[in-house]
Amino acid sequence: MTDDELRDRAVAVLTTNHRDGYTVPAIGLYPYQWCWDSGPIALGWAAAGRWDHAWSELRRLLSAQWPSGMVPHIVFWTVGDSYFPGPAVWATGREPATTGLTQPPLPVSAAARLFAADPDRDRAQSEFGGLWPKLLAWLSWIERARTGPHGAGVVVHPWESGMDNSPSWDEPLAATPSATDEHIERRDVASVAAAERPSQKEYRHYLGIVEALRAAGWDTERQPADSPFAVEDPAFTAIAARAAADLASGGEAAGFDPREPARLAEGALAGLEALWDDALGWYRPYDTRAGRFAGPVTSSGLVAIWAGIRDERVARMVSRVDSWRRTLPCSVPTTDPADPSFDPIRYWRGPVWVLVNWLVADGFNRAGLTDRAAQLRSDTHAFVTQGFSEYYDPRNRAGIGGHGFSWSAALTLDWLLA
Ligand code: GLC
């Protein structure tokens, strides 16, 4: 396939998924606006030359920000019953209806990238200027309301990490209440094979946490205390650290005072470093309820690389990623293939994701490992030429999960075809 054909196909996916000023991750499976998806989607629109769509993606998302500064993980812009759990389950009382959790603040880094690259400097200044106080409020809220005992970012629900059923969460999730013993009528398994999605058991716990937070009144300032699940997450922390650093440099160029985001970046980076497990040679989540590090080697730890970490730590993680690449035809699986929890087709328990590859390749480039970054890029290119799937089986590169998936298309435009 030529680059032009691939570009046309990617733009067609984004166009099909575009709604009134925002873009759904995938038709049917994810019919609303998802928080961290909006970051790469905005970059994809910009790479396609659609700056109007790029800026409005972020503007729409930030217009649903809560007074506390939290940016919700799903904004239910339309009414419908095609998604579970929908607005009635969350019952956050917000207009527009939203969930009561956040996701990794990747849209902050996207805004800074748009500001730097937009050829229309007046538009860049006015769009970024409009977003700046909101983005800063989001990151300040994360520091205030999502900082754990090591100074790292805490997620109060696996959904808040964006890596929903990663084995990283198995232990802390098992300690949470189950919402029900009944069969849960989900919509995701209507369009995707159940073997590629989280289990019923996990869903009961996901809903149990939602119930606990709902009963506590969605007080976004005290959710780590209200939730039965509170885990310091390396990937969330790394994305927050990079977001703050990117906001500081974008802000400085736009004439705003960069000191507060720069301070936030330093704090988050220090928290991230405290999650390094030197015996394992990997960053690890810390279960604040149980008071211990949790889970095997997963993409949650690898994404630390996106924040900019010390060379010797990059080197230790890279040697492990290299060893996986010798047994699998492509990189990078989201769970250590040698771990018993590895499952090559089940969502965040093994499959390769375009977003993770992009974050990690960027980290490799920043660490000077341009050969590894190029390898990840060519592995990812081989995936997307078969279609813009949600994730891919690392044993045979088969596209699985949802199809016509927005961030796979968007990052093809922003990264693979750049
Ligand atoms: C799934 C993913 C999450 C993503 C959402 C929409 O829930 O785990 O990371 O934001 O789908 O694409």
* Contact present, 163 and 73 (Cβ < 8 Å): no
pLDDT > 90? residue 80: no
Cα-to-centroid distance, 196 and ligand 1 (Å) = 13
Q: Secondary structure of 341-377 in the HEC alphabet? A: CCCCCCHHHCCECHHHHHHHHHHHHHCCCHHHHHHHH
pLDDT band of residue 82 (cuts 50, 70, 90) is confident
* Secondary structure percentages of the chain, helix, strand, coil, to 5: 55, 10, 40
pLDDT > 90? residue 214: yes
Q: Specify which residues 18 forms β-bridges with.
A: 23
Buried b (16+ CB within 10 A) or exposed e, 133-155: ebbbbbbbbbbebbbbebbbbbb
What is the residue whose two structure tokens read 């990078």?
Answer: 332
DSSP 147-203: B-TTSPBEESSHHHHT-TT-GGGHHHHHTSPPS-SSPP--SHHHHS-GGGS--HHHH
Q: In the prediction, which pLDDT does 117 show?
A: 98
Query: ∠ at Cα 250 (247, 252), nearest 5°?
Result: 105
Q: Give the chain's mean pLDDT.
A: 97
pLDDT digits (tens, 9 = 90+) for 59-76: 999 999 999 999 999 999
pLDDT digits (tens, 9 = 90+) for 42-60: 999 999 999 999 999 999 9
* Ligand 1, pocket-test mutation among 24, 36, 37, most atoms within 8 A of CB: 37
pLDDT > 80? residue 181: no
Cα-to-centroid distance, 162 and ligand 1 (Å) = 6
Q: In the prediction, which pLDDT does 179 show?
A: 87
pLDDT band of residue 185 (cuts 50, 70, 90) is confident
pLDDT > 90? residue 184: no
Q: Whose CA is nearest to atom 3 of ligand 1?
A: 162
Q: Whose CA is nearest to atom 9 of ligand 1?
A: 162
pLDDT > 80? residue 304: yes
Catalytic residue among 164, 188, 343, 393: 164
Cα-to-centroid distance, 366 and ligand 1 (Å) = 26
pLDDT digits (tens, 9 = 90+) for 316-363: 999 999 999 999 999 999 999 999 999 999 999 999 999 999 999 999
Q: In the prediction, which pLDDT does 81 show?
A: 83
pLDDT digits (tens, 9 = 90+) for 115-126: 999 999 999 999
Residues with Cβ < 8 Å from 50, sequence gap 6 or more?
Answer: none
pLDDT band of residue 183 (cuts 50, 70, 90) is confident
Cα gap 199→332, rounded to integer Å: 23
Q: Look up 164 and say whether it is catalytic.
A: yes
Average pLDDT over residues 246-268: 98
* Ligand 1, pocket-test mutation among 22, 34, 233, 335, most atoms within 8 A of CB: 34
Ligand 1, CB within 6 Å, residue ranges: 25, 30, 34, 36-37, 162, 164
Ligand 1 atom closest to the CA of 25, numbered from 1? 12
Residues with Cβ < 8 Å from 61, sequence gap 6 or more?
Answer: 22, 33, 35, 38, 71, 75, 107
Please give the C-alpha separations between residue 132 and each of 28, 31, 58, 262, in angstroms, as whole numbers.
33, 28, 11, 14
* Selection from 210, 222, 85, 211 nearest residue 160 by Cα: 210
pLDDT > 90? residue 398: yes
Cα-to-centroid distance, 312 and ligand 1 (Å) = 32
To the nearest 10°, report the CA torsion of 273, 274, 278, 280.
-100
Rounded to 10°, the helix 354-366/311-327 angle is: 130
- Could you tell me the two tokens for 180? 């029900």
Cα gap 403→113, rounded to integer Å: 27
Strand 276-277 vs strand 97-98: parallel, antiparallel, or unpaired? unpaired
* Contact present, 122 and 196 (Cβ < 8 Å): no
pLDDT > 80? residue 291: yes
Backbone angles phi, psi at 173, to 5 degrees: -70, -40
Q: Look up 390 and say whether it is catalytic.
A: yes
Ligand 1 atom closest to the CA of 347, numbered from 1? 8
The DSSP H or E segment spanning 205 is helix 200-215
Ligand 1 atom closest to the CA of 165, numbered from 1? 8
Percentage of the chain lying above the pLDDT 90 cut: 96
Q: Whose CA is nearest to atom 4 of ligand 1?
A: 162
* Contact present, 264 and 139 (Cβ < 8 Å): yes
Q: In the prediction, which pLDDT does 416 show?
A: 97
* Selection from 25, 390, 73 nearest residue 209 by Cα: 73
Q: Specify which residues 33 forms β-bridges with.
A: 75
Cα-to-centroid distance, 300 and ligand 1 (Å) = 14
Considering the entire predicted model, what is its pTM?
A: 0.98
Cα-to-centroid distance, 204 and ligand 1 (Å) = 18
- Could you tell me the two tokens for 372? 């590894």
Please give the C-alpha separations between residue 270 and each of 94, 123, 148, 273, 304, in angstroms, as whole numbers.
34, 35, 12, 5, 12
pLDDT > 80? residue 306: yes
Query: ∠ at Cα 344 (209, 8), nearest 5°?
Result: 95
Residues with Cβ < 8 Å from 29, sequence gap 6 or more?
Answer: 188, 191, 192, 390, 402
Taken as a whole, the chain contains a residue count of 418
Residues with Cβ < 8 Å from 374, sequence gap 6 or more?
Answer: none
